[in-house]
Structure 1
Amino acid sequence: MFGRSRSGLCNILHMLDLIYSNFAEIVYLDRDRICTKLMEFSQAVMAKGAEVENVWAFIDGTVRECCRPDGNERQRTVFNGHKRRHAMKYETLVAPDGTIAHAFGPIEGRRHDLVISRQSNLENIIANNDQFRGFVVYGDPAYGYSNQLASPFGGACLTDPQKQVNKSMSRVRISVEWSLGQVLQ
C-alpha cells in the first residue's frame, strides 16, 4: 500500500501520533511564539497599508477537494455546494510573516466557515488570553465582528471611507491566500 510495507506504514503512523501528542497545542495555536510578536505583527499589517488597527493575523477557511465517498449520506456530508465538489474544509490563521499560526480541520465540506470557526473555539481561546487583548484577527464577512475578530463593512450603502477601509484590508488580506497556495504546492 502506497509503495510501503505494512510495518513501514505502521511506523509512520506511530510517529505521526507521537508528534501530534507532543505538539498538537502548537499546531492548534502557538501562543508562546505569537504573543511575543503581536505588536510586531500588527505594525507589519499597518505598514502594508491596512486601515484597521491592531490586526495581527488573517483567518480564512479553505476547501480541499476529496474523492467522492460511497453512499448517499457520506456524499451529502462532504459535498460543498458553493464549490460544487466533494471536499473537506480547514480553517487557518496566517500571520503577516507568512506562518500558519493556527490550523483546524478537516471537517465536512458542507460546513460554512462560521461553523468551522465555532467548532475550532479559536475566538474563545483568544478572548480568554489577556495577552491578545486589544488585538484582532481579520477575516471575510462570514466571521463577523467582535473584540477578537474584524471583517469588512457590509451592505449596499457603504460610505466612501468604509469602502476605502475595505479596499485597504482586502489588499493586505491577500497574504492568507498566498500562504495557503504555498502549502498546496
Structure 2
Amino acid sequence: SRIFIYTTALLVEIHQDKIELNVDLLNRRASVYCQHVAECGAPLATFGFIDGTKQFICRPSPRNLQRSCYSGHKRRHCFIWQAVVTPDGLCAALFGPVEGRKHDSTVLREMDGKCVYGDPAYGCRGLILSPYSSNPTPREREFNRRMSAVLECVEWFFGRLKELWSGWIGTRRWRLERRQSVYSLPWEV
C-alpha cells in the first residue's frame, strides 16, 4: 500500500496540469448542465452543486494537531473534503483535505471558488446560492424542495467515493504529520 500511495503521489506531481479543473470543458458543458437541471424541475440555471464531507482520521498525537483536526460537530478528528459536482456526476472540482475544525464556508473561501448551489452552510454570496431558511414563504419552500431534489448528486458522489475507496480511506490509514509548520499527509512526495 505504501508503493501505491507513493506512485499515486508521484503521478499527481508529474501530471498536475492534466488533473486540475478543466475550465474549457466546464464552460462548453455549462449550458447543457443548466438545461438538465432545469428539466429536473429546478427553477435556476444551475450547472453544479457544492458540498463537503468529513473523513475521520486517527487521533493526532501533538496537542496542537488535535485542536486543528477536531470537529466539535461530529466530536471526532477528521479532514474535510469539498467538491463541486455536475448533474452528470462528474467532479468538477475537489478540494482538500482541510483540518476538521473548519466550516464548509471557510473551506470554500480557501478554495477561492465561484460555485453554484449548496446547503445552507454556504450562505448566499456571489454565484453561490443556498436554500431559504428561517420561516420560508410557500413560494420559498417550493424553491427549496425543487432545488434539494437536484442537489442529491453531490451526496451520491461522496457516497460512491467512500464506497469505492473504503479500504484505502479507512480511519486508521490517515495520520497527520507536521512538517515545517505546514500540515501534510504522510504520503506527499
TM range (shorter): 0.7 to 0.9
Aligned length: 163
Tell me what 2:110 maps to.
Answer: 119
Asked if residue 45 in structure 1 is aligned to residue 24 in structure 2, the reply is: no
Q: Distance in 1 between matches of 2:5 and 2:69?
A: 27
Runs of 4+ in 1 over 6 A off after TM superposition: none
Q: Gaps (5+ residues) in structure 2? A: 164-189
Tell me what 2:129 maps to.
Answer: 150
2:150 aligns to what SS in structure 1? helix
Q: Distance in 2 between matches of 1:79 and 1:117?
A: 19
Asked if residue 62 in structure 1 is aligned to residue 41 in structure 2, the reply is: no
Q: Distance in 2 between matches of 1:108 and 1:24?
A: 25
- After superposition, the Cα gap between the structure-2 partners of 1:31 and 1:72, relative to the gap in structure 1 and judged at 3 Å, is same
The residue correspondences of 1:162-181 to structure 2 (distance < 5 A) are: 162-181=140-159
- After superposition, the Cα gap between the structure-2 partners of 1:75 and 1:143, relative to the gap in structure 1 and judged at 3 Å, is same
Would the aligned equivalents of 2:50 and 2:118 in 1 still touch at CA under 8 Å? yes
Which one is further off, 114-123 or 18-27? 18-27
Q: Distance in 2 between matches of 1:12 and 1:77?
A: 24
Tell me what 1:22 maps to.
Answer: 15
Normalised by the length of structure 1, the TM-score is 0.81
1:150 aligns to what SS in structure 2? coil
- After superposition, the Cα gap between the structure-2 partners of 1:14 and 1:182, relative to the gap in structure 1 and judged at 3 Å, is closer
Q: 1:139 aligns with which of 118, 132, 140?
A: 118
- Alignment deviations for residues 63-117 of structure 1 (CA, whole Å, 9 cap, x no partner): 0001111132211111111111110001100000101110001010000001100
- The alpha-carbon deviation at position 47 of structure 1 amounts to 1.0
Q: Gaps (5+ residues) in structure 1? A: 124-135
Q: If each structure's helix is expressed as a fraction of its own residues, which one has the higher value? A: 1
Tell me what 1:182 maps to.
Answer: 160
| CA RMSD after TM alignment | 1.9
Asked if residue 34 in structure 1 is aligned to residue 26 in structure 2, the reply is: yes
Q: Distance in 2 between matches of 1:78 and 1:16?
A: 22
- Alignment deviations for residues 96-152 of structure 1 (CA, whole Å, 9 cap, x no partner): 0101110001010000001100011112xxxxxxxxxxxx61011122223311111
Q: 2:93 aligns with which of 89, 102, 105?
A: 102
Which one is further off, 93-102 or 142-151? 142-151
1:56 aligns to what SS in structure 2? coil
- After superposition, the Cα gap between the structure-2 partners of 1:79 and 1:42, relative to the gap in structure 1 and judged at 3 Å, is same
- After superposition, the Cα gap between the structure-2 partners of 1:15 and 1:69, relative to the gap in structure 1 and judged at 3 Å, is closer
